[in-house]
Structure 1
Amino acid sequence: METHGIKFKDKFGYALGDMGGILSFSLVSSYLTMFYTDILGISAASITILMLVARIWDAVNDPMWGSFIDSRKPTKHGRFRPYILGASFPLAVGAFLMFFKIPGLSNSQYLIYAYITYIFYGMMYTGVNIPYGSLASAITDDEVERSSLSMWRSVGAGIGGLPAQILMPLVVFTTVINADGSSSKVLDGNKLSLCVGAISVLTIVLFIIHFRLTKERIQLPPTQKTSDYNLLKTIKVLAKNKPFVVLCFISMFLICFQMYTQTFYNYLFKNYFEKPGLYSIVTICTYLPMALFLPFMGKLIRKFGKKEICGAGLGFAFVISALMFLLRFTPFAHNPYVFLVLVFLSGAGQTFLVLEVWALVMDVTDYQELLSGRREEGTTYSIYSFVRKLGQTAAGAGVPAVLGAIGYKGTQAVQSQQVLTKMFDAATIVPSVILLLMFILTTFCYKLGKSEIENLHKQLYGNKND
C-alpha cells in the first residue's frame, strides 16, 4: 500500500480525533478540581489521594491496553481505528457523569462517586488515547508528513480546548451577593453539567467522523507475528531506548505545565485579578502563537530540526515565565492585561514543542523498531501515555495541595490578601521551574537531533530493504 502522499482528509480526520478527546480532557484540567472543592465540597487532601490512586491503577491499565492492541491481529479497519471508535462512546458518558452532581448525597458518598466516575473516565480515555496516539505512525512513514500530522493533531487539540477554556468561563459562573453587600463570581454546578452534556454529544460525533476520514497504510513487518508478542521483552527494550525515556519525561513535564497553569490560572483570574471572564483569553494567548507559527513550521524543521527549535523555544518561554513572577514587584502586579501579554510570549516559546511533540513520539517509535526489529506502537505509546499521566497527576494532585498550603478556602467567596499573594507566586514560580526542566532535557539530554534523525531513517529503511 502507498504510504506517502496523504491527503487533506487524512490530516483533518486525524486532527478531529484529538479534538474529540481534548473536549473532555480540558474540562478535567480547567474545572474538575474546582467542581470537587466548590460544588461537591471535597477537601483538597482527598482530591490529592484520589489522583494518586487513579495513577496507581493507570500503571496497570495503560500497559495492559497497549499490549492487548499489539497482540491482536489487524482487523479489516486497521490495528487502531476500531478501538478508538469503540471507546469513544463510554468516554463521552464518563465525562458527563464526572461533572454531574447527584443531589442529597453525604460528603463521603460524594467522594466515592468522584472515585468511581474519575477512574472510569480515565480508563475510557486510555481506551481512546493509546490507539489514537499509535495511529499516526500507521498512517505514513514519511518524516515531513508525520510532522504535518503532529501539527494537525496539536491544532485539533487546541480547538478542542476552546469550549472549556474560552466559552465556558463566560457561562458557568454565577454572580452572588455577599453578606457585606459586595458581589462575587462562583461556579454554578447546574450550568457546568449542561455544558458538559453538550460537549459529550459533540465528542461522539467527532470520533465518528475521525473514523471515516482516516486510513492506516503502514503494515507490520512480514517477519513479525502477533503471537510472538512479549510485553516484558518490549519493556526491557524501551528501557534501553534513551531518546524514548527522555521524551517521556519531557512530555510529562509538558502536560504537568499545561494542566497546572490551566487550573491555577482559573483560580488566579477569579480571585487575584477578580476577572474570571478574562480566563478565556488565556487560551487565546497560549494558542494564538501556534496559528502564527504554523505556516512556517515545515521550513523551520527542515532547516534547524525538531529538537533544535523546541529547545530554543523552551529557553525563551522560561525567561518570560520568570518575568511573570517579577511582575508582582512592579506597579503592574494587579494588571491582568500585562499578565496576559506575558502569557502570549511564553506561549510563543512553548509552541514549537506543542506542535512537534507527537512527531518526536514517532521518531522514538522508529528508534524502538531499529532496536527491536518490531513495530509495537501500542505498547510504546501506552508506556509513554502512562508517564504523561504522571505529569497529569502531579498537576491534578499538586494544585489542590498548593491551594491547601496557601490557605485557600473554596467555601469562601473572598480570600485574604495573604492568600492572594501566595496564589500569584504559586501561579508563576512553579511553571518557571517546569519550563527550565523541559529546556534542560530537550537541549542537553534528548539526542535525536536533525542529523541523528536523518541517520536513523537511513538505517531503518536500509534494514527494511535488506
Structure 2
Amino acid sequence: MEKKDMNGLQIIGYGLGSLGKDFALGVMGSYLLLFYTDVFGISAAAAGMIFLLTKIWDAINDPMMGAIADRSPVTRFGRYRPYVLLAALPLSVFCVLCFLAPDLSPTGKVAYAAITYTITGMIFTAYDVPLWSMVPSLSSNQNTKNKLIGVARTFTTLALFLSSAVAYNAVIKLGGGTEPANLKAGFPKFMVIVGIISVVFAVITFISTKEVNIQEAEVETNLFKNFKRVMCKPLIAVLLSMVCCAFGMILPATVGTYYMIYYLGRPDLIALYMAISMGLGMITSILAPALMKKVTSKQLSFVGFGMNIVAGVVVFMAGKNSIPVVFVCFAIVGLATGLLMVSITTMLAETAAHISGTKGIRADGVCFSMNSFAIKVGQALASAAVSFLLAATGYVANAQQTQEALTGILLSRSLIPAGVAILGVICVAMWKLGEE
C-alpha cells in the first residue's frame, strides 16, 4: 500500500522549525559581534578569536551529532523528531545568555562570551542536524523533498530578514535608546521574545510532521570508520560550496551595521539595508524548487555565486558615490542567497541519497551534520574576517574611524565576499554527481 504523502500544511509546519531556530541565529549573526565590541566591551580581535576557535569544537561536535542521530532508535515519535522538541528550550535560554553583559574583568568577559557562545552552538547542532536529517524520512517523493527544503530555506531567509531588519529597532525600543547602556538592557529582553517564538515553532514542527520513510540501512558502529566510508569527492565539494554560501549569507548582516554607521554615515538606513540584503532571498527561495524543474541544482548554484561576484565588484567601485547603486547590489546579493541556500542543500540531499544507494549505509544524519558544520564554519569565518580586519585597520568602537578602518569596512562588504564567491564557483564545478 502506497504511503500517503505530506500536504501543504505539514510542509509549512516542518518549515516553521527553521524559522524558530534561525530567528535566534540570525540575531546572533547580525548583532553579536556589535554587542561584544560596542556593548560588552570585548576587543574586536578577542571577539574574532571567540568566533573562530569555538568552531574547532564544532568540527567534532557536528559530525558526532549526525552519527548519534543516525544511530538513534526508532521511537513512536520517529528517529529525529524528538531532538527538535528537546533542544528548543535550552537553545532559547542560551541565546539569551549570550546577550547578557555581566560586570566582569576583561578576561572574565572573554571567558563568559566564549563559554556561552560555544554551548549555544552545541545545542543548535542538536536541533539543526536532526531537523535536516529527517527530510528523507518524511517522504519518499523527490518533489516533496525539494518542497520541504525550499520551504525550510524560505523560512530561514524570512528569519534572517526579521532578525536583521526588525531586531535593532526593537532592541532600541525595549532598551529605551541607542547608548550602550540602553542596548545592554534591550538585547536580553528581545532575545526572550525570540526564544518564546522559537519554542512555539519547534512544538508546531514536532506536531505537524511524522517520519514515515525511515530507511533501515547499515550503521557503522565505529564513528571514524563511518565518516571515512561516507566521505567522497561529491560530499566534500558540496560542503565547501556551503561554506562559501554561508560566508556570503552572514557577511552582509555582520558587517552591515558597521558599513551603514561608519562608512556611509547613514545609521537611519540600517533597517532598509537589512530588509533588502536579507529579505529578498525569500522570493528566490520560493522560486528555486520550480526553477530546478528547468535547470539543475548545480547550474542554479553557478548563477547564485555569479550574482555575488558582480555585486561585490560594483559595490567596491561605487564606494560612497551612489547609495541607490549599492542598494541595488545588496538586493542582488539577497536574491542570490535565496537561490544558493536551496540549490546547495538540494545538492547535498542528492549526495546523501547517492551515498546510501551506492554504499548501503545510512548517511542522512552524517551528511546534514556536515552541512550544519559547513554553515557554521562559513558564518564563523565571516564574523572572524570582519573582526580581524577591523582590528588590523584600527577600528575604535563608538568613535570617528580612520580612513584605513573605513577602507577595511568597505573591503569586507565588497571584494572579500566577491572573492569567496569565486571560490564557491570552483567548489560547485568540482561536484560531479549531477553529471554522473
Bin of the TM-score, shorter chain as denominator length: over 0.9
Deviation at 1:428, TM superposition (A): 0.6
2:396 paired with 1:409: yes
Q: Distance in 2 between matches of 1:6 and 1:237?
A: 32
Partner of 1:16: 16
Preserved CA contact (<8 Å) 1:325 1:428: yes
1:109 aligns with 2:108: yes
Letter of the structure 2 residue corresponding to residue 106 of structure 1:
S
Q: Is the 8 A contact 1:147 1:356 kept in 2?
A: no
Give 1:322 shift: 1.1
Which amino acid is 2:298 matched to?
A: K
Return the offset for 1:70.
Answer: 1.7
Instruction: Provide closer, same or farther for how the CA distance between residues 25 and 184 of structure 1 changes in structure 2, counting only shifts above 3 A.
Output: closer
Q: Does structure 2 retain, via aligned residues, the 8 Å contact 1:322–1:432? A: yes
Larger displacement relative to structure 2 (203-212 or 387-396): 387-396
Residue 447 of structure 1 aligns to which amino acid in structure 2?
K
Q: Which position in structure 1 is the counterpart of 2:68?
A: 68
Q: Which residue of 2 aligns with 1:375?
A: 362
Partner of 2:197 in structure 1? 202
Deviation at 1:417, TM superposition (A): 3.6
CA distance in 1, matches of 2:279, 2:119: 33
Residues matched between the structures, number: 432
SS at match of 2:362: coil
Partner residue in 1 for 2:133: 134
State yes or no: 1:190 paired with 2:185.
yes
Give the drift of 1:22: 0.5
Any idea what SS the aligned residue of 2:134 has?
helix
Question: Counterparts of 1:235 and 1:432 in 2: how far apart (Å)?
Answer: 32
* 1:129-175 CA-partner distances (Å, limit 9, x unpaired): 1101201121123222111111101111012123321112223359x
| 1:419 paired residue number | 405
Superposed displacement of residue 342, structure 1: 1.2
State the alpha-carbon separation in 2 of the partners of residues 433 and 185 from structure 1: 35
CA–CA distance in 1 between the matches of 2:155 and 2:62?
23
Alpha-carbon RMSD? 2.2
Q: Which residue of 2 aligns with 1:398?
A: 385
Shift of 1:238: 2.3
TM-superposed deviation, 1:426:
2.7
Instruction: Decide whether the 8 Å contact of 1:170 with 1:277 is kept in 2.
Output: no
Which structure 2 residue ranges, 5 or more long, are not aligned? none
Instruction: Report the Cα offset of residue 446 of structure 1.
Output: 1.4
What does 1:34-49 correspond to in 2, within 5 Å? 34-49=34-49
Of 208, 225, 241, which residue of structure 2 is paired with 1:233? 225
- Report SS of the residue matched to 2:367: helix
Listed as ranges, the matches of 1:312-391 within 5 Å are 312-328=303-319, 333-391=320-378
SS in 1 for 2:166: helix
Is the 8 Å Cα contact of residues 3 and 139 (structure 1) preserved in structure 2? Answer: no
Decide whether the 8 Å contact of 1:70 with 1:229 is kept in 2. no
TM-score under structure 2 length normalisation: 0.92
* Corresponding residue number in structure 2 for 1:152: 151
1:2 deviates by 4.5
- Summarize the Cα distance change of 1:298–1:160 in structure 2 as closer, same or farther, 3 Å threshold: closer
Q: Contact 2:316–2:411 at 8 Å: present in 1 too? A: yes
More displaced, 19-28 or 86-95? 19-28
**Are residues 1:272 and 2:263 paired?**
yes
- Whether 1:430 and 2:416 are equivalent positions in the alignment is yes
Identity across the alignment (%)? 26
TM-aligned CA distance change 1:426 to 1:162, over 3 Å = closer
2:312/2:413 contact within 8 Å kept: no
* 1:206 Cα offset (Å): 0.9
C-alpha contact 1:40 1:107 (8 A) present in aligned 2: no
Amino acid in structure 2 at the alignment position of 1:261: P
* Matches of 2:267 and 2:308, distance apart in 1: 24
Structure 1 residue 188 displacement after superposition = 1.6
**1:234, distance to aligned residue in structure 2 (A):** 2.0
